[in-house]
Amino acid sequence: MPINVLILTGANNHDWQATTPVIKQIFEGNARFAVADVITDPAKCDSATFAKCDVVVSNWSAYPAMTGHQWGVAAEKAFVDFIKSGHGFVAIHAASATSQDWPELQQLLGLTWGLDKTAHGAYHTLKVTVEDHDHPITKGMPDFWITDELWHNMVCLSGQSIHTLCKAWSEPEFSGTGKFEPVLVPTQLGTGRGLNIVLGHDAAAMRNLAWQTLLLRGTEWAATGQVTLPIPEHWPDSSAEAVVTGVDPDAAIKAVLDSKFGQDRQALFVVEQLVNASTAHDHEAAIAARRQLAAELAAALEACRTPQAKSFLCKQLAMIGGPDEVKNLATLLGQEDTADMARFALERIPGEGASLALRSAMSKLSGKPAVGVINSVGNRAEPQAVKELIPLLSNSDPPIVEAAAAALGKIGSPEAAHALSAILPKVATPIRASVADACLRCADKLAAGNKDAAEKIYRLFDTETELEGPRLAARAGRVALKR
């Protein structure tokens, strides 16, 4: 049988018209619950009203009227009898800032808004720390992040001892207290159970999966004293995941298509956080979502209206791009204003597809874009690139020769070493130091498994006409071989 939930709403100093449908949807989306009714005037409740449910979830507050018994005597008595008989009550955020002259409700709330003491800092992204790992609600629950309004210096009017299940640091940077504040407090009245969820300022905060988990597990506990609902696998355990809760990726990506240097970075920040959040988990659903986001970023490259926007999206694809995004990135390698970030992304994408795209571009490009691509090939240090790099050692453009030599040095294979050794005597003075450095790097790499080959390279520099730096480096390499 499902747990029947009665939702109280209809008055609140927060936007109850927006939040109540979200609360209702959360319960209706879980088979453990059924929404028995949504009441917009608690004064109309009686024993028959409460008989339809197992737990009352309140999104109602009379604030700023903190006293006055707005429910009326009959509804208050029916509610108290209902709770004391073993049922549950859950208060959400501002629902605790009310009815301070009603002792039984204050017993159930545990904490309330102190008119001369309680306040809150700026709405911001914050970390929630689980304090009690043994309580049924929070057992097995990791810490999490949420973007919300954090209350501080709440007061207890009932004189009871407050048991904190979760807490959050109130940042002075956001006008906080510089101390931990309770955000989840369980209580008891008779044999009934209460729960005060201090978080949940608006619909955006309520879309946070961890907040929804607190609501569902907390409501189950309040109704039954037990918790059977699992903690979701996809958990917002990073600030990025909290920032992008409820964000539409398509709209976020469209917002950066016209971006330029010097403009406000908020739109860029949102996309960055979408990418960061997509890397937080590696279960099947998270991997699928990450691939989908990468595909959307790659598709948006063609729609970008500024080079800065293209470079920004390339940077994001460097984090989450895969083989399917190679083609979109490769088209930007020949454009000088986007080539650097395109190859930056391709360097980091594993697999033969990215390697082929970079190696293919080496022979087609010239000037600065070609040098950049060759550097990327070298950074990947794949031996299969040696065959395509060797012809570039004879290029008429000195920077390309230097880049090709450096790439061969990073690869450090016997074939690379042979090519560099052969070209070294023919290289003109202006770039000889670069080629010499590449040769020595090859020798250093070969030294671990082929000392003879390394020795042969080091001896190339054993002449008085050789530049002093390479000659001394080669001598040190030869000494190391004998150890």
**What digits encode the pLDDT tens for the residues 128-158?**
999 999 999 999 999 999 999 999 999 999 9
Query: Residue type for 362, please?
Result: M
Structure tokens, 142 = 């990791």
Chain position carrying tokens 């070493």: 417
Rounded average pLDDT over 207-226: 98
Give the closest residue to 19 by CA, choosing from 51, 52, 59, 57: 59
- 345 pairs with which residues across the strands? none
User: Three-state DSSP class for 6?
Assistant: strand
User: Three-state DSSP class for 381?
Assistant: coil
d(CA 260, CA 307): 8
pLDDT of residue 215: 98
- 112 pairs with which residues across the strands? 155
User: Three-state DSSP class for 2?
Assistant: coil
pLDDT of residue 429: 76
The alpha-carbon radius of gyration of the chain (Å, integer) is: 33
The helix-helix angle for 339-348 and 307-320 (nearest 10°) equals 10
Rounded average pLDDT over 170-174: 96
Rounded average pLDDT over 97-122: 97
User: Three-state DSSP class for 39?
Assistant: strand
Q: Would you kindly state where each structural domain of the chain is located, as residue ranges?
A: 3-224, 247-366, 381-483
Rounded average pLDDT over 446-461: 82
User: For strand 88-92 and strand 55-58, is the pairing parallel, antiparallel, or unpaired?
Assistant: parallel
pLDDT of residue 389: 95
User: For strand 3-8 and strand 55-58, is the pairing parallel, antiparallel, or unpaired?
Assistant: parallel
Give the closest residue to 133 by CA, choosing from 162, 161, 165: 165
User: Three-state DSSP class for 241?
Assistant: helix
d(CA 160, CA 290): 47
d(CA 16, CA 42): 14
Degrees, nearest 5: CA angle 52-58-64: 140
Question: For residue range 357-396, what is the model confidence (pLDDT) as tens digits?
Answer: 999 998 899 999 999 999 999 999 999 999 999 999 989 9
pTM, two decimals, is 0.80
pLDDT of residue 432: 83
Assign domain 381-483 one CATH number from 1.10.10, 1.10.3470, 1.25.10, 1.10.540. 1.25.10
Query: What CATH code would you report for 3-224?
Result: 3.40.50.880
Rounded average pLDDT over 395-408: 93
